[in-house]
Amino acid sequence: MPNKLRRDKRGGTRRLATNVSKTFRRPDSVKDVLGRLTPTLTRVSDQAARQSFWNQWLAQHLPSELLPRLSGVVEREATLVIFAESAAWSARLRYVMQDLEPQIREAQPTIQQVSVRVMPRS
């Protein structure tokens, strides 16, 4: 069966955009893309390095029963935030961190405050 004529089909006629200028942009090179992301990548790598440093430092200075109960360590704006997996372990960690706070400031002079918070493991 032959196709129907256009006038029998619903909808208007399809017009092609003839006035649209086709401008082709040169694709970005990988070097250009990474160059734009450098501040972000630098910040992430610095944060990972600080987190690794604090994980190693805490492994040396914390009692062995507390170390597996840590769920994270983050350094934010002169504050060291240590996350425990439950409120009970957080309370025990707070008491230990009061004793370790002078040593933390000695290891990193920019740290002004140590905070312990609860963050359950996923």
The domain segmentation of the chain, as residue ranges, is 65-122
pLDDT at 110: 93
Distance from C-alpha of 70 to C-alpha of 92, rounded to nearest angstrom: 11
Neighbours of 116 (CB within 10 A): 20
The CA distances from residue 57 to 62, 70, 88, 111, in Å, are 9, 13, 22, 14
pLDDT at 13: 57
pLDDT at 50: 92
- Band of the pLDDT at 1, cuts 50, 70, 90? low
pLDDT at 10: 64
The string of pLDDT tens digits covering residues 7-65 is 665 665 555 555 556 677 887 888 787 777 777 778 888 889 999 999 999 999 999 99
The string of pLDDT tens digits covering residues 62-121 is 999 999 999 999 998 899 999 999 999 999 999 999 999 999 999 999 999 999 999 998
Distance from C-alpha of 42 to C-alpha of 37, rounded to nearest angstrom: 8
Which residue has tokens 């920019």? 110
